[in-house]
Amino acid sequence: MKKIFLLLIFVLISCETTSKKEPTTQLDFPFEPSYQKDWKMGNQENVLLVQNLHKTLLDGEFERVTEFISDTIVMYMG
C-alpha cells in the first residue's frame, strides 16, 4: 500500500514540471511584407536569410551572394 501511495505521489509531482520556452529574438527584416503581417511559415530566421539575399541582389553586390548560397542542400521532410 505504501508503494502505491509513493508511486502516486511521484507521478503527481512529475506532472507539475513545466517546459522552458526559448526566448524569441526580434529580427530586423529589410523588407515589409505586402501580405498579412501575422502570417508565418517555418522559421523566421530563414525568412530573414532569404530577404537579405534578395536585398543583396537588388543592391548589385553580387560578390556577397556567396555568403548566402551553399553548395550543399539540406531538405527537411517532416
Instruction: Between 77 and 59, name the one with better pLDDT.
Output: 59
Phi, psi (deg, nearest 5) at residue 64: -85, -10
* pLDDT tens, residue by residue, 13-58: 777 656 667 677 777 878 776 776 666 677 888 888 888 999 999 9
Look up the domain containing 22 and give its range. Answer: 1-68
Q: According to the model, what pLDDT value does residue 39 have?
A: 63
- Tens of pLDDT, residue by residue over 1-17, are 888 888 888 777 777 65
75 inside domain:
no
Structural domain tally of the chain?
1
In a domain, residue 76? The reply is no
- Helix, strand, coil distribution of the chain in percent, nearest 5: 45, 0, 55
pTM of structure: 0.49
| Domain-embedded: residue 22 | yes
Give me the pLDDT at residue 58, please: 92
